[in-house]
Amino acid sequence: MADTLPMTLRVYRKLSFAMVPLAPALIRSRLKQGKEDPERVGERRGLSLGTRPSGPLVWIHGASVGEVLAAAALIERLRALNLRILLTSGTVTSAAIVAKRFPPDIIHQYVPWDSPRYVARFLDHWRPSLALFIESDLWPNLILQASARRLPMVLINGRMSPRSFPRWRRARNTISALLGQFEVCLAQSATDAERFAALGARNVIVTGNLKLDVPAPPADPARLEKLMAMTRGRPVIVAASTHPGEEEILIETHRTLAGFFPGLLSVIVPRHPDRGNAVAGLVAASGLRFMQRSREELPAANTDIYIADTLGELGLFYRLAPIVFMGGSLVEHGGQNPIEAVKLGAAIVHGPHVFNFSDVYEALDKAGGARLAGHQEALVKQLGQLLADPAARDAAAANAARVVEQLGGALERTLAALEPYLMQLRIEMGAANA
């Protein structure tokens, strides 16, 4: 295979092999930054303390939290077929989410660094029967070595963003050599399908977005009741999954709105909880009063902003507030997934940068299920209207719920596309048990 690869991938493979001696320094740096689990760094080198279970093993890979959660319903359906699941991801937060929200029989591993030696160790140990890659986290050595082992690979929930497509089009030979290793490409939308096909993917099928079929996130009833008791009678807004550059806008928005809605509480949930102290510094500098959840503090009667800098509690705060601003949209991040908030009855407000979920937000906006705020003044206006008009708020939430229901169904279409592979695994299980 190496002789047929484009020059870019041949050079990449050599460089990634040559970089192995630098791994210890990289590990030390990432440990200092909190980006690695000190007890599991061996997994980054393809080492594992876990034992491969007997029988067929389905390997599912996603980059981080969003991709891992998108696979939750699919994983449940595969478990119902008595298939064992190996789930890989690349971030500490995604590993924590798997431990908190997935059944204990799901095997989680950190994806190995993309060096031929580490990837070979990983594949030799786990010997997966089927590989499902979520969205677009395409590591060349991982893909090429899996293909060399004749491992069937399917790209599921495939997404090719408006940013990535032009870049990959300029390197079409490279991306085509990678996408060509997948037997099937299941795309989120017709636009994604066209982009994947243009870049060399074969057997492209539009199945929809699995994130539309994710269940509503859970919440601990006792913790929810405690929060509701502390905030009862107050207007509450949640700003979910915020990014740097957004909190300053949200703080000023709160200051303006509080002049019209006495007792207003704004809950800021940073996308990365380790930014909680940085957000607290911004609020402190503004002169507003705040409490911080990571310090086990609860909002008091005079708290202006509650910083929810903990992991895996969005379900709690979506249930607490009827209005949710979706972060990552006032800055050019591309927006965060609004589906979980919609499923818990929230009226949605978002900024202009939502290209990660453009189809979803377009449908929500068109149906009146979400409101666009292009700048701070518009954000004040949209949030203020929803705070002042409960009927409009309820109508927006109902409209959003209808849109999500209409756009759903990706899980069933994905399972239908995977059926030939799942049937083969069932045959193998039957033969093993005979």
Residues recorded for the chain? 434
Q: What's the rounded Cα separation, in Å, for the pair 404 and 340?
A: 10
Q: Which of 240, 330, 251 is nearest to 285 (CA)?
A: 251
Residue 254 Cα distances to 48, 150, 279, angstroms: 48, 56, 14
Place of tokens 């009741």: 225
CA 169 to chain centre: 25
Burial class (CB within 10 angstroms; exposed 0-12, middle 13-18, buried 19+) of 47: middle
Task: Name the pairing type of β-strands 265-270 and 305-307.
Answer: parallel
What DSSP string describes 189-220? SHHHHHHHHHTT--SEEE---GGGGPPPPP--
67 has catalytic annotation: yes
Helical axes 116-126 vs 7-18, angle rounded to 10°: 90
Alpha helix (H) residue ranges in 19-156: 23-32, 65-70, 72-80, 92-101, 116-126, 140-148
Tokens of 68: 């891992």
Helix, strand counts (H, E) of the chain = 19, 14
Q: Taken in order 371, 411, 219, 66, is the CA torsion positive or negative?
A: negative
> Of 36, 43, 67, 247, which residue is the catalytic one?
67
Instruction: For residue 169, give the amino acid letter.
Output: R
Q: What's the rounded Cα separation, in Å, for the pair 28 and 26?
A: 5
Give the residue numbers annotated as catalytic, written as ranges.
67
